[in-house]
Structures are given as structure tokens and as C-alpha cells.
Amino acid sequence: MAELTKEAHELTVSLDWRERHVSTIRMLRLYARTFARNGSAMLGLGLVLLFLTTAAIGPYFVPFPDDATGSVHIERKLQPPDAVHWFGTDEVGNDVFTRVIVGARVTLQIACIITGVAMLIGIPLGMIAGYMGGWVQEVIMRITDVFLSVPGLMLAIAIVGALGPGIVNAMVALSLVWWPGYVRLVQAKTLSLKNEIYVDAARSMGAGSLRIVFVHLLPNCTSPIIVKASMDMGMAILGAASLGFLGLGAQPPFPEWGAMISVARTYLPDWWWYSFFPGTAIVITVLGFNLLGDGLRDILDPKHRE
Amino acid sequence: MLELRNLSVHFDVSKRGKGKTIVRAVNGINLNIGRGEAVALVGESGSGKSTVGKAALRLVDTTDGHILLDGVDITHLERGRQMPLRRKAQMVFQDPHSALNPRMNILRSVAEPLILHTALRGQALTRRVIELLEIVGLQAQFLYRYQHELSGGQKQRVCIARAIALNPDLLVLDEPTSALDVSVQAQILEFLKTLQSDLGLTFLFISHNLAVVRYLCSRVAVMYLGRIVEEGATETVFTTPKHPYTQALLSAVPWPEATQPKGHAPLVGDIPSPVNPPSGCSFHTRCPFARERCRAEAPTWRALAPDHLVACHFAEDLAAS
């Protein structure tokens, strides 16, 4: 018996990474297979990957890097798409292709910051509200309700109006209106999870509230959070572009897609390429994140699985 | 080991603007469990037996009365001081599937109490978990599996391994076999019995399965609507039940032997609401022998024999008839 025990010890200690995580690997494989069979999800993943690649390496390969920061080449203004200027040029002769590519990085930053800040505010508040219950929950949820009752973009416009236009203020404003959704989501999930028996079990072993919340509850909330975050990336991009379009976000000549369209719309319909390409970039990116989010929900959220 | 003195647990389930609604889940019970003893708490669903188990481990707040563990009053121990209690008393839950965190593998689940209470980390921790799994009859190959990859019996073994990780003196077993297949139930019960004698554990065994109780426990307490109505040595209670409720419970069990007590009508109706318990003896609404006195006056808790207590006005008469 002692011999057996020793062998078992050595066996387990000698297991490599792959053998120890065999269950996780199997689960990920299942996820990958389910995901791969879902056509629209794969399309979404492809679009998001295209967007991420563009944001990561695009700015190093653009044909006219100076055009991104607003140089002036009046001699080649408003030229239609051709072999040199793939997406044409704008009213001061900047290459639209360059500006759309560089804009991807700006857009990604905006989307990540807005979603990230919203999660940082929303998830802890939701967990506290759901776990504590009582008056703490009442206070947090009523404040959340107030925020949710005002249309997000309207509130963001009001906040930017007060802070003054600009890309940073636009991000602050959008982050401030974005968190209530996470509070709602996480609070509802926590509320249902905290009555699970394994939470009682953890308490009977002497785990404190913080440990229960972060070690036992939070990992079980991640699936809906990931799904929502993926969807929100698209919506945040749209929100930031809307503020840019209204002149409250990024200011021209900053290469942000919404701000570009804001200027370009006055050149419609004759110089269509100026607004068409940034607009298409927004559509494709938002579509990509939404399809990806839908696909992720199909594999991560079994209740909605068909 | 564990002593419950006049323990009451009431839950306030009032809704705003609708007056006070209080569920009297446990209503003044007394129970004494000696070291190394296996005591069963039986009763139908809603009788408050699970609440007693949770209260004993301070998982729910008590309304009245005292809980003594090893002679120490733990009724109002604040959270920071509860750690010694957690080492001494652990719980095994009814549904092993929901008692294990789906995001934790078996190693992590069983290690949780060790992480909380000991300085074991890394390989030493893994070794201890393997030892524990061996005690409950699971191989080391399960270490990195997740809860959903195990069968019900295996999961319950994992839960038991987790409960005995800190060498507790007292295990509260809340219907540990009712979620399992009959064949697996037998295995787990046999294992629990060996475990109890090997480790000298004290069991508070909560169950509605009387056959299981008879197999495992030396003493039994019958609960009805938050009160203990009869208590005594298992054999005494099972062969000469004094309380009409115990008699009804026993007559509903299909014993494989011919000595089955006969002649009692099965209980009709449901257990009354603990929000609004009946007057007098709380069992009078369903008792076939209820008389005027039962409706008016709550029976006292009295000893019929040195180790046989009952709460019924007419226990002697009923036994005679």
C-alpha cells in the first residue's frame, strides 16, 4: 500500500502541463469545434482578427504615414480611388487609406478603454450588490437604474458637453454611461450563484466574503461577462464614432473614423469615397464584434444554446 | 461533543407592506451528541432538519438557544473567531454535484480547506490531497478532473474527502446519499460507516431514509415541524415507537423483513406551514389519535425510559393500544 501511494505521488508530480490540463484542453477543443461549425461566428472572428491585425501592424505599412497626423497636400485633394491612393484622398489631399488604417488603432484603444473601465466599475459593484443584498443592493441598483433610464448616448453627449469636446473626454463620458449594464448582468448572476451549495460549502470551510466573491463566484460569472464585453466592443466603437461625428469626440485632423465622416459628409455624394471607406470600416468592425459575441454566447452560455 | 440547547431558527420572510411573516424552521430543540456517536435526525421534507445541521455549523443565524461544541458556546462567535470551529466540524451536503464549484478541479476543491487552514502549498498540498482521495477510495488520476466529469458517487467521495481534510471531530451529513443511485448509496454508506469507526468521527446524520438511519446510527431523533418529537436509541425507537408520527413514518417504510409494524394508517395531507404552526401539539392536525387536549396544550418533552424521550400527551396509552 505504501509502495502504491509513493508511486501515485511520483506519477502525479511527474505529470506534465498537458496531462494536468487534459480536462481544460478537452473543453477548449469542444468549444473550438462548436465555434468552427458556426459560420457567422467564424465570419465575426475573421473580421475581428482582420481589425486587430490592422490595428497592430497596419500603421507601420501605410503608404503615407505623415497624412495620418494632418499634413496638407493641396495639389492632390479629393482624388478618386486609384492605384496610388487606394481609397482616394480627402479635401486637403491626405490619403484616406492611410487614415482609415491608422484609425483602426485609435478605435481599438477607444473600445478597449471604454469597455475596460466599464467592467472595472460595473463588475465589482454588481458583485457587491448581488452578494451583500439588503440596503447596499438597493442603493447600488437604484443608482444603476437611474443611469439606465437615460439613453446612454444622450447622457454621454451631455457629459462631453459639460467637459468639453475631445477624444479623452469622449472616452470618459462613454465609460461613465457604460458600466450600468455590467452591474445589472453581474448582480443578477451573483444573486443566483450565491445560493449555490458550493458557496455554503466554502463558508462552512471558513472562507471569508472576499474569498467567496473572488475565488468562488467571479470565475463562474466570466462567461456572460466575456460575451457582453465582446458585444460592447462593437457598441463602444459605434458610440465613440457617433460622438466624433457630432464633433464632440476626436477632432479633425485626428484620424478617428467618426470624426472623418463628420467632415466627409459635406462632400457627399460627389466625393463619395471620402466618407464611404471610414464608414465601411466602422460597419465591418462593429459587425465583426457582434457576430463574435453571438458566437461566444452560443458556446459559453449553455442556456441559450440551441 | 455537540450540544444543542433550546435551539430556535426563525427566518424573517416578510415582504414590504405585508406584515410580518416568520418561518419557524426550528423551534426550541434539544439534542446531545456524544463523542464518537452517530446520531440521526429524521423527518419529512420541511421539518427543519437541514436547518438544524446548518445552524450547528453556524451557516444560518440562530434566533434563540445555544450551540455548544466541546463545551464551548459557539452560538454568537463572530466570523473572525470561527476558524477553530471550522476545523472541528465539517459538513457534507445533499447534492454533491452542486456542492463542488464547477470552475475548480478536484485538486483545487479538496485543497480549499487546507489552503484556508494550513500552510501546505505546492507539492506538499498535492500530496495531502492525493492521500485524502485515497482514503475515500479515489485514484490520483481524478486530481485534474472537473466536477462534471465524475459520477455522482465519485463526487460525493470528493465532498467527503474535502470534509475530512482538516481531521474534524464532527461531520454533519445532510442527506449524503439521497441524490445517489441505490447501488452507489450502499457503497457510500458502507464507506461512511468504516470512516466513522476508523477516524473516530462523530456524525450528525440528517436523513429521511429510515433504512439508512437504522444501518448507520446508534441514536435517532425524529423531527416534526421544527420540533423533536421523539428521541432514543435507534433499535428502541424503531421497534417500540411511542410518538404517533414516528409510528406513521415507520409504517411507511417497506422493510424487507416480516416484522414490519402493521396496522397504522398512513399519514394524509402535507406538513403544515411553519409560518403558522398549529396550536397545542403541532402534529394534532394529522394525528389519528388527536384529542381535545392536543389542540389546546403543547406536550412536554419527557422521558419514558432512561434513553427514550417523547413529546406526546398520550404516549403510554398509544403504546398500550
A284 pLDDT band, cuts 50/70/90, is very high
The confidence score (pLDDT) of residue A289 equals 92
Quote the CA–CA distance of B23 and B52 in Å, as a whole number: 14
- H or E stretch covering B313: none
Backbone angles phi, psi at A231, to 5 degrees: -65, -40
Round to whole Å and give the CA distance between B231 and B221. 4
**What is the pLDDT at residue B187?**
85
The conformation of residue A165, written as its DSSP 8-state character, comes to: S
Are B117 and B166 a contacting pair, CB within 8 Å?
Answer: yes
Q: What is the pTM of this model?
A: 0.81
- CATH code for the domain of B8: 3.40.50.300
Give the nearest partner residue to A12 out of B103, B117, B140, using CB atoms.
B140
Q: What integer is the mean pLDDT of B241-248?
A: 87
* C-alpha distance across the termini of chain B, in Å: 38
Q: CB distance from B146 to chain A under 8 Å?
A: yes
Place of cell 419514558: B304
* Angle in degrees, CA B120, B164, A10, rounded to 5: 50
B79–A contact, CB cutoff 8 A = yes
Place of cell 491626405: A94
Which residue ranges make up each domain of chain A? 1-37, 42-304
What pLDDT sits at residue B317? 76
Question: Is A205 close to B98, i.e. CB distance below 8 A?
Answer: no
pLDDT for residue B260: 55
Interchain pair B59, A203: CB under 8 A: yes
Contacts of B185 by beta carbon, 8 Å cutoff, 6+ apart: B177, B212
Residue B161 has what pLDDT? Answer: 92
The yes-or-no verdict on residue B86 having pLDDT over 50 is yes
Q: Which has the minimum average pLDDT: A61-70, A182-191, B217-226?
A: A61-70
Q: What is the mean pLDDT of residues B298-305?
A: 84
Among left, alpha and beta (phi > 0; psi -120 to 50; other), residue A294 is alpha
Nearest residue of chain A to residue B95 (CA atoms): A197
Statement: residue A6 has pLDDT above 80: no
Q: How far is the alpha carbon of A23 from chain B, nearest alpha carbon, in Å?
A: 6
Nearest CA in chain B to A17: B144
In chain B, residues with a C-beta closer than 8 Å to the C-beta of A201 are 91, 93, 99-100, 159, 162
Question: Is a pLDDT exceeding 90 seen at residue B22?
Answer: no
Q: Chain B contact for A200, CB < 8 A?
A: yes
Would you call A5 and B130 a contact, using CB atoms and an 8 Å cutoff?
yes
How many residue pairs bridge chain A and chain B with CB atoms within 8 Å of each other? 82
Total domains in the fold of chain B: 1
Q: Which domain holds residue B218?
A: 2-320
- Residue B298: pLDDT over 90: no
Pick the residue of B12, B103, B178 with the most A CBs within 10 A to test the interface with A by mutation. Answer: B103
Contacts of A224 in chain B (CB under 8 A): none
Q: How far is the C-alpha of B163 from the C-alpha of B245, rounded, in Å? A: 33
Residues of B with Cβ-Cβ distance to A303 under 8 angstroms: none
- Sort out which chain B residues have CB atoms less than 8 A from A192's CB and list them: none
The model's pLDDT over B154-186, given as tens digits with 9 standing for 90+, comes to: 999 999 999 989 889 999 999 888 888 888 888
Q: Under an 8 A CB cutoff, do B93 and A200 touch?
A: yes
CA distance B155 to B179: 11
Residue B211 CB partners (closer than 8 Å, separation 6+): B253, B255
CA distance B10 to chain A (A): 18
**Hey, are the CB atoms on A201 and B140 less than 8 Å from each other?**
no
As a whole number, mean pLDDT of residues B271-295 equals 84
When comparing pLDDT for B26 and B19, which is higher?
B26
Query: What would you report as the CA-atom Rg of chain A, rounded to the nearest whole angstrom?
Result: 24
Could A208 and B99 be called an inter-chain contact, meaning their C-beta atoms sit closer than 8 Å? no
The contacts of residue A146 (CB under 8 Å, 6+ apart) are: none
Å from A136 to nearest chain B CA? 17
How much is the average pLDDT of A72-97?
A: 80
What would the mean pLDDT of A273-277 be, rounded to a whole number?
86
**Could you report the per-residue pLDDT of B47-82, keeping only the tens digit for each?**
888 899 888 888 888 888 888 888 888 888 877 778
Residue A4 above 80 pLDDT?
no
Residue numbers in A near B130 (CB within 8 A): 5, 8-9, 12
Determine whether the interchain pair B102/A208 forms a contact, defined as Cβ–Cβ distance below 8 Å. no
User: pLDDT tens digits for A34-50?
Assistant: 888 888 889 999 999 99
User: Least CB-CB distance to A198: which of B101, B123, B149?
Assistant: B101
Q: How far is CA A94 from CA A51, A97, A241, in A?
A: 22, 9, 20
pLDDT of residue A81: 81
pLDDT band at A185 (very low <50, low <70, confident <90, very high): very high
**Cβ–Cβ gap A204/B90 under 8 Å:** yes
Confidence of residue B289 (pLDDT cuts 50, 70, 90): confident
Identify the band that residue A24 occupies on the pLDDT scale cut at 50, 70 and 90.
confident
Q: Does A196 touch chain B (CB under 8 A)?
A: yes
Judging contacts by C-beta atoms under 8 Å, the chain A residues touching residue B59 are: 200, 203-204
Q: What is the pLDDT of residue A46?
A: 93
Instruction: Decide the pairing of beta strands B89-92 and B170-174.
Output: parallel
Whether residue A206 and residue B131 make contact (CB cut-off 8 A), yes or no, is no
- Average predicted confidence (pLDDT) for chain A: 85
- Which residue in chain A has the smallest CA separation from B146? A23
Residues of A in contact with B99 (CB under 8 A): 197-198, 200-201
Residue the block writes with cell 457587491: A128
| Inter-chain CB proximity A8 and B130 less than 8 Å | yes
- pLDDT confidence of A139, banded at 50, 70, 90? very high
Nearest Cα to A250, choosing from A127, A107, A124? A107
**Of the partner residues A13, A20, A205, the one whose CB lies closest to the CB of residue B116:** A205
Instruction: Report which of B7, B205, B25, B172 is spatially closest to residue B99, judged by C-alpha positions.
Output: B172
Query: Residues 60 to 89 of A: which have CB under 8 A from any B CB?
Result: none
Mean pLDDT of chain B: 85
| pLDDT 10s digits, B112-164 | 999 988 888 888 888 899 989 988 888 888 888 888 888 888 999 999 999 98
pLDDT at site A2: 46
Write down the pLDDT at residue A123: 93
Residue A24 CA to residue A45 CA, distance in Å, equals 22
> How far, CA to CA in Å, does A54 sit from each of A62, A259, B16, B236?
10, 19, 56, 81
Q: Which numeric CATH code is attached to A42-304?
A: 1.10.3720.10
Alpha-carbon distance of A212 to A223, in angstroms, equals 18
